[in-house]
């Protein structure tokens, strides 16, 4: 069953409104009718099982029949990754991160970052599409762009903090240090990696330099690899409990 997204949810009245592209997709593409059942998410971990009760020109009214909560306690993954030179590579990264599951995504700017701006409207549409395609109920928060050192300064010391690099000979294998059920921040740099000064700055702020492979990975590949590893380790831990 298709999954729809709405922020216009009134649990007290047991009602949901679908408008804009969600309404058009429901009526014009899928040809849904009154009394048809659909699923809706708010992106906050809830799935609403609904019935279409009214169809108007610009919006549809739904009645909530059941609410399922998938927002159980899960460790937080904050992915801080440099803006990439090619927009389509950053968009691909974002799409896969949503599908795999992260908590927050922060575009960062480092010394070697070549591109400084992003089309946030387009990126949010890509993330929403990935959410619905993967039938996930949690939409990660996409933060504003920030300088890498400012990001480091505002990182919680209660998290496990890592900085990915292929330059530092003293890196540790991420598989040897990543532990389950812990909140994590991961820094991933641009095509030219982080500068020496940025790596020292991160290390002084208790970010552990890590490597993902004995091969040199593209930034988007490294980000997707880490998201996958984080998800796998935590799911495996849950199964073993």
Q: Give the model's pLDDT for residue 215.
A: 76
Q: Give the model's pLDDT for residue 22.
A: 93
Q: Is the dihedral of CA 35, 60, 127, 108 positive or negative?
A: negative
pLDDT at 39 over 90: yes
Question: How far from the centroid of its chain's Cα atoms is residue 150's Cα?
Answer: 21
DSSP 145: P
> In the chain, which residue ranges form alpha helices assigned H by DSSP?
20-24, 87-100, 120-133, 148-153, 174-177, 196-204, 219-240
Q: How many residues does the chain have?
A: 241
What pLDDT band is residue 241 in, cutting at 50, 70 and 90? low
CA angle, 14 then 24 then 42, to 5°: 40
pTM, full prediction: 0.89
pLDDT tens per residue across span 68-124: 987 667 899 999 999 999 999 999 999 999 999 999 999 999 999 999 899 999 999
Q: Answer yes or no: are the C-beta atoms of 224 and 93 closer than 8 Å.
A: yes
Which is nearest to 2 in space by CA: 28, 42, 30?
A: 30
pLDDT at 231 over 80: yes
Residue 4, strand partner residues: 40
- What whole-number distance in Å separates Cα of residue 15 and Cα of residue 169? 57
What pLDDT band is residue 168 in, cutting at 50, 70 and 90? low
């Amino acid at each position: 069953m298709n999954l729809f997204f709405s922020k216009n949810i009134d649990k007290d009245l047991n009602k949901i409104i679908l408008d804009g592209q969600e309404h058009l997709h429901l009526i014009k593409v899928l040809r849904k009718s009154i009394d048809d059942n659909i699923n809706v998410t708010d992106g906050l971990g809830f799935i609403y099982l609904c019935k279409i009760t009214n169809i108007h020109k610009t919006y549809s009214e739904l009645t909530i029949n059941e609410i399922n909560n998938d927002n159980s306690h899960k460790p937080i993954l904050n992915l801080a990754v440099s803006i990439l030179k090619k927009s389509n590579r950053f968009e691909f990264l974002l799409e896969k991160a949503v599908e795999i599951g992260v908590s927050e995504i922060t575009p960062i700017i480092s010394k070697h970052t070549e591109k400084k701006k992003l089309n946030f409207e387009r990126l949010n549409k890509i993330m929403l599409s990935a959410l619905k395609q993967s039938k996930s109920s949690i939409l990660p928060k996409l933060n504003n762009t920030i300088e890498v050192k400012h990001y480091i300064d505002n990182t919680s010391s209660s998290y496990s903090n890592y900085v990915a690099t292929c330059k530092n000979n003293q890196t540790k294998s991420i598989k040897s240090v990543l532990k389950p059920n812990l909140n994590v921040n991961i820094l991933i740099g641009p095509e030219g990696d982080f500068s020496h000064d940025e790596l020292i700055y991160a290390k002084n702020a208790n970010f552990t330099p890590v490597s993902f492979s004995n091969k040199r990975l593209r930034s988007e590949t490294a980000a997707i690899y880490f998201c996958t590893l984080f998800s796998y380790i935590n799911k495996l831990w849950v199964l073993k409990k």
